[in-house]
């Protein structure tokens, strides 16, 4: 599932249409991505509207249109955004297509685990404003992390890092990357982290988010080989720091990769 940096990358794919008027809105009305959303309202509000701006937060993105239209997109497992040339013919899995004079904006999702939201109004909708504060914001402090870990004391730290109400945008690979850098075993109960480990966790969360946005978020390129990321899917992969074998197992319902030589469970 796309995480913080991948969502930012896909958001920017619609940038070619900023300032352009939507001439037509094409939808697959019965697609599951529109569950709970009025498709006719999207078509009515966006036809003739201008794309003014966009933003990404956590695993979601929002697009603001003239006339008070707010389009929200969650990519789910297989969703992505593309900008195609004018005259593009929509394909089977292109569930939302916005046509302008110069480019065609496409949301495609073969597995339809993604979701489209739409609201009309002067202010951003609640489904956007109520997202948890970004990890790179000033309000994401060591103290807020420590308090959240205490409330989830018995859960393995890997599972806790996937909770979007405190760690927005963190998904499976980012959680593994953070724990590997902080030298914390993914099975360790959240309530057993020492103050030093909590500070390391906070530091590496911010570092991974910042640098993932600077690499994956710009070009979708893999991070360098010094990261865990390029090695975590390899059978027989080696830890970039210890040069010893990595291990994979299911923790908290998700496939997890760690370095036993570096991340010890005491």
Of 11, 59, 158, 188, which residue is the catalytic one?
Answer: 59
Helix (H, G, I), strand (E, B) or coil at 167: coil
Question: Could you write out the three-class secondary structure of 170-229?
Answer: CCHHHHHHHHHHHCCCCCCEHHHCCHHHHHHHHHHHHHHHHHHHHHHHHHCCCCCCCCCH
Is-catalytic flag, 124?
no
For residue 63, the tally of other CB atoms under 10 A from its CB is: 23
| Spatial separation of the C-alpha atoms in residues 75 and 32, rounded to whole Å | 12
Residue with tokens 């390899």: 234
CB burial readout 16-43, b (16+ within 10 A) else e: bbeebbbeebebbeebebbeebebeebb
Task: Confirm whether 243 is a catalytic residue.
Answer: no
CA-to-CA separations, 229 to 70, 185, 232, in angstroms, rounded? 34, 16, 6
**Which residue from 182, 180, 177 is spatially nearest to 198, judged by alpha carbons?**
182
3 flagged as catalytic: yes
Catalytic residue among 203, 206, 241, 254: 254
Residue 59 is among the residues annotated as catalytic for this protein: yes
Instruction: Please check whether residue 215 is in contact with residue 5, taking contact to mean a CB–CB distance below 8 angstroms.
Output: yes
Spot the catalytic one: 2, 186, 223, 240: 2
Q: Which residues belong to the active site?
A: 2-3, 59, 254
């Amino acid at each position: 599932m796309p995480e913080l940096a991948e969502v930012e990358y896909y958001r920017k794919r619609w940038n070619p249409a900023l300032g352009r008027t939507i001439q037509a809105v094409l939808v697959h009305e019965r697609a599951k991505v529109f569950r709970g959303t009025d498709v006719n309202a999207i078509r009515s509000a966006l036809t003739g509207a201008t794309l003014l701006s966009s933003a990404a937060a956590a695993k979601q993105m929002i697009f603001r249109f003239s006339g008070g239209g707010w389009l929200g997109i969650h990519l789910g497992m297989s969703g992505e955004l593309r900008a195609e040339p004018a005259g593009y013919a929509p394909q089977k899995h292109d569930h939302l297509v916005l046509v302008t004079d110069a480019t065609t904006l496409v949301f495609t999702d073969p597995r339809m685990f993604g979701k489209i939201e739409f609201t009309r109004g002067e202010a951003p909708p609640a489904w956007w404003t109520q997202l948890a504060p970004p990890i790179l914001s000033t309000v994401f402090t060591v103290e807020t992390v420590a308090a959240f870990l205490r409330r989830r004391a018995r859960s393995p730290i890997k599972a806790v890092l996937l909770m979007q109400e405190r760690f927005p945008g963190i998904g499976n690979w980012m959680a593994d990357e953070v724990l590997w850098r902080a030298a914390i075993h993914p099975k360790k109960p959240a309530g057993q982290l020492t103050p030093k480990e909590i500070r390391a966790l906070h530091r590496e969360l911010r570092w991974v988010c910042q640098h993932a946005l600077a690499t994956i978020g710009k070009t979708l390129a893999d991070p360098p080989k010094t990261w865990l990321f390029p090695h975590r899917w390899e059978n027989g992969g080696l830890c970039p720091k210890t040069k010893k074998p990595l291990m994979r197992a299911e923790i908290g319902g998700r496939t997890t990769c760690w370095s036993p030589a570096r991340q010890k469970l005491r």
